[in-house]
Structure 1
Amino acid sequence: MTAASPTPPAARLSDLDALLVSRIEEVTSAELSERRAQLGRISMESAALVDDLKAFLEGGKLLRPRFCFWGGVAALRREPTAEEVEALARLGAAIELVQAAALLHDDVIDHSPVRRGRPAQHVRAQRSHEAAGLSGSAEEFGVAVAIVLGDLALTWAEQIAAAIPGPAARVAAARAEFEAMRTEVMSGQHLDILHQAGGFASAPDAEQAALSVIRWKTVPYTVLRPVRMGAALMGAEEPELEALSSWAIEVGTAFQLRDDLLSVVGDQDATGKPIGGDIVEGKRTVLLARTEAAADAEGQRLLSRVVGDAEADEAAVHAVHELMVATGAVASVAADVRARATRGRELLEAAEGLGELGRAGLEALAVRATDVDSLRA
Structure 2
Amino acid sequence: MTSADTSPADAALQDLDGRLVTRVAEIVREELTERRRQLAMISPETAELADRLLDYLEGGKLLRPRFCYWGGLAALQRDPSDAEVDALARYGTAIELVQAAALLHDDVIDHSPMRRGRPALHVQAECQHREGGLAGSSEDYGTAVAIVLGDLALSWSEQVAAGVQGDPGAVAAARREFDALRTEVMSGQFLDILHQAGGFASAEDAEQAALAVIRWKTVPYTVLRPVRIGAALLGAPEEDLETLSEWAIEVGTAFQLRDDLLSVVGDQNETGKPIGGDIIEGKRTVLLARTEVAADPAGRALLADAVGRSDASAQQISAVHELMVSTGAVASVVAEVEQRALRAGELLDDARMLGRTGSAGLSALAAQATDVEAFTA
Same fold? TM cut 0.5: yes
Measured against aligned partners, the alpha-carbon deviations of 1:5-28 in whole angstroms (never above 9, x if no partner) come to xx8110000001011000000001
Is this contact kept in 1: 2:65–2:91, CA < 8 A? yes
Compute the displacement of 1:264 (Å).
Answer: 2.2
User: Helix, strand or coil: the match of 1:236?
Assistant: coil
Compute the displacement of 1:374 (Å).
Answer: 2.7
Could you state the TM-score of these two structures normalised by the residue count of structure 2? 0.97
Is this contact kept in 1: 2:104–2:146, CA < 8 A? yes
Larger displacement relative to structure 2 (59-68 or 269-278)? 269-278
The one-letter code matched in structure 2 to 1:90 is R
Q: How does 1:352-363 map to 2 (within 5 A)?
A: 352-363=352-363
Is this contact kept in 2: 1:104–1:150, CA < 8 A? yes
Taking a change above 3 Å as real, the CA distance of residues 312 and 376 of structure 1, as seen in their structure-2 partners, is: farther
Q: Which residue of the partner structure matches residue 4 of structure 2? A: none
User: Helix, strand or coil: the match of 1:323?
Assistant: helix
Q: How does 1:139-154 map to 2 (within 5 A)?
A: 139-154=139-154
Q: Which residue of the partner structure matches residue 38 of structure 1? A: 38
Unpaired stretches in structure 2, ≥5 consecutive residues: 1-6
Compute the displacement of 1:188 (Å).
Answer: 0.2
Compute the displacement of 1:376 (Å).
Answer: 6.0
The one-letter code matched in structure 1 to 2:46 is S
Q: Which residue of the partner structure matches residue 97 of structure 1? A: 97
The one-letter code matched in structure 1 to 2:199 is G
User: Helix, strand or coil: the match of 1:165?
Assistant: coil
Q: Which residue of the partner structure matches residue 75 of structure 1? A: 75
The one-letter code matched in structure 1 to 2:257 is L
Taking a change above 3 Å as real, the CA distance of residues 375 and 57 of structure 1, as seen in their structure-2 partners, is: farther
Compute the displacement of 1:274 (Å).
Answer: 1.4
Is this contact kept in 2: 1:240–1:352, CA < 8 A? no
Q: Which residue of the partner structure matches residue 4 of structure 1? A: none
Structure 1 residue runs of 4 or more that deviate by more than 3 Å after TM superposition: none
The one-letter code matched in structure 1 to 2:230 is G
Measured against aligned partners, the alpha-carbon deviations of 1:2-57 in whole angstroms (never above 9, x if no partner) come to xxxxx811000000101100000000100000000000010111010111111111
Q: Which residue of the partner structure matches residue 3 of structure 2? A: none
Measured against aligned partners, the alpha-carbon deviations of 1:154-200 in whole angstroms (never above 9, x if no partner) come to 00000000010101100000000000000000000000000000000
The one-letter code matched in structure 1 to 2:321 is H
Q: How does 1:7-86 map to 2 (within 5 A)?
A: 8-86=8-86
User: Helix, strand or coil: the match of 1:42?
Assistant: coil
Taking a change above 3 Å as real, the CA distance of residues 171 and 323 of structure 1, as seen in their structure-2 partners, is: same
CA distance in 2, matches of 1:8, 1:360: 13
User: Helix, strand or coil: the match of 1:374?
Assistant: helix
Q: How does 1:1-377 map to 2 (within 5 A)?
A: 8-375=8-375
Is this contact kept in 2: 1:262–1:273, CA < 8 A? no
Size of the alignment, in residue pairs?
A: 371
Q: Which residue of the partner structure matches residue 3 of structure 1? A: none
Is this contact kept in 1: 2:263–2:271, CA < 8 A? no
Could you state the TM-score of these two structures normalised by the residue count of structure 1? 0.97
The one-letter code matched in structure 1 to 2:206 is A
Measured against aligned partners, the alpha-carbon deviations of 1:93-151 in whole angstroms (never above 9, x if no partner) come to 00100000000000000000000000001000000000000011000100000000000
Taking a change above 3 Å as real, the CA distance of residues 300 and 236 of structure 1, as seen in their structure-2 partners, is: same
CA distance in 2, matches of 1:8, 1:165: 32
Is this contact kept in 2: 1:266–1:275, CA < 8 A? yes
Is this contact kept in 1: 2:265–2:276, CA < 8 A? no
Q: Percent identity, aligned pairs only?
A: 69
Unpaired stretches in structure 1, ≥5 consecutive residues: 1-6
CA distance in 2, matches of 1:234, 1:242: 15
Is this contact kept in 2: 1:36–1:47, CA < 8 A? yes
Compute the displacement of 1:265 (Å).
Answer: 2.2
Is this contact kept in 1: 2:334–2:375, CA < 8 A? no
Compute the displacement of 1:263 (Å).
Answer: 1.6
Is this contact kept in 2: 1:265–1:376, CA < 8 A? no
CA distance in 1, matches of 2:270, 2:343: 27
CA distance in 2, matches of 1:202, 1:23: 44
Compute the displacement of 1:266 (Å).
Answer: 1.1
Is this contact kept in 1: 2:122–2:146, CA < 8 A? yes
The one-letter code matched in structure 2 to 1:244 is L
The one-letter code matched in structure 1 to 2:311 is E
Q: CA RMSD of the aligned region, Å? A: 0.9
